[in-house]
């Protein structure tokens, strides 16, 4: 009985050491996927619980980050399918003291730049939420978390070619949705 307890304790400590460095990145990704901080926290908790419960299936020496992000990806997509309604949140402008994703300091900025930044961030966030969950996950991991194609493929459980295709479609859709913010040749970069 004591040996079993010690083995479980060792497994729990090992899991904790592996997952702890990724919790913030898991939260940022879940937040970008759901646009809801409470839901993002719930998804990270669900991901960690699922990962811990199936930790004995994790092959030591393989990419733990990709493994745990695959669990997050599945949990997020499952949640999106269960709750087809999407809510939008306003992007944090930094004045609330939050320094999470989207934190931005208005200090020393002109009012025009501040308004433009808020407008762009809100529009960018809404454009991300219009992407399908599968494409949104690939875009979030690639552009925002800077995962490699291989890491994304392992995380979402599809071939690298599918990752590239989804990323291309996501970028194209974001470019179309945010086209008003793109610089026009011989014109200022932003329209005010």
- Residue 62 — very low, low, confident or very high, per pLDDT cuts 50/70/90? confident
CA–CA separation, 154 and 137 (whole Å): 12
- Look at 83-92, 157-166, 169-178, 179-188 and tell me which has the smallest mean pLDDT: 83-92
- Residue 179 — very low, low, confident or very high, per pLDDT cuts 50/70/90? confident
The structural architecture, per CATH, of the domain 2-181 is Up-down Bundle (1.20)
Q: Hey, where are the domains in the chain?
A: 2-181
3-state SS of 73-109 is: HHHHHHHHHHCCCCCCCCCCCCCCCCCCCCCCCCCCC
pLDDT in tens, 3-29: 544 455 667 888 999 999 999 999 998
Inform me whether the pLDDT recorded for 49 exceeds 90: yes
Q: Is 1 exposed, middle or buried (0-12, 13-18, 19+ CB in 10 A)?
A: exposed
User: How much is the average pLDDT of 59-80?
Assistant: 87
Which pTM value belongs to this model?
0.60
Inform me whether the pLDDT recorded for 46 exceeds 60: yes
Inform me whether the pLDDT recorded for 95 exceeds 50: no
pLDDT in tens, 112-160: 554 556 677 778 888 888 999 889 999 989 988 889 999 999 988 899 9
């Amino acid at each position: 009985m004591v040996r079993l307890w010690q083995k479980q304790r060792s497994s729990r400590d090992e899991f904790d050491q592996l997952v702890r460095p990724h919790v913030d990145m898991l939260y940022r990704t879940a937040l970008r996927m759901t646009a809801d901080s409470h839901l993002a926290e719930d998804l990270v908790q669900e991901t960690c619980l699922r990962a811990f419960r199936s930790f004995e299936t994790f092959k030591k020496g393989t990419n733990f980050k990709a493994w745990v992000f695959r669990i997050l990806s599945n949990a997020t997509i499952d949640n999106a399918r269960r709750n087809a309604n999407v809510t939008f949140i306003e992007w944090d402008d930094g004045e609330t003291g939050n320094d999470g994703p989207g934190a931005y300091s208005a200090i020393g900025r002109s009012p025009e730049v501040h308004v433009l930044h808020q407008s762009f961030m809100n529009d960018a966030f809404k454009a991300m939420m219009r992407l399908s969950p599968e494409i949104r996950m690939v875009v979030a991991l690639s552009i925002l978390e800077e995962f490699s194609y291989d890491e994304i493929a392992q995380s979402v459980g599809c071939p690298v070619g599918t990752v590239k295709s989804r990323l291309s479609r996501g970028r194209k859709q974001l470019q179309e949705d945010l086209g008003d913010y793109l610089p026009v040749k011989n014109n200022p970069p932003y329209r005010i």
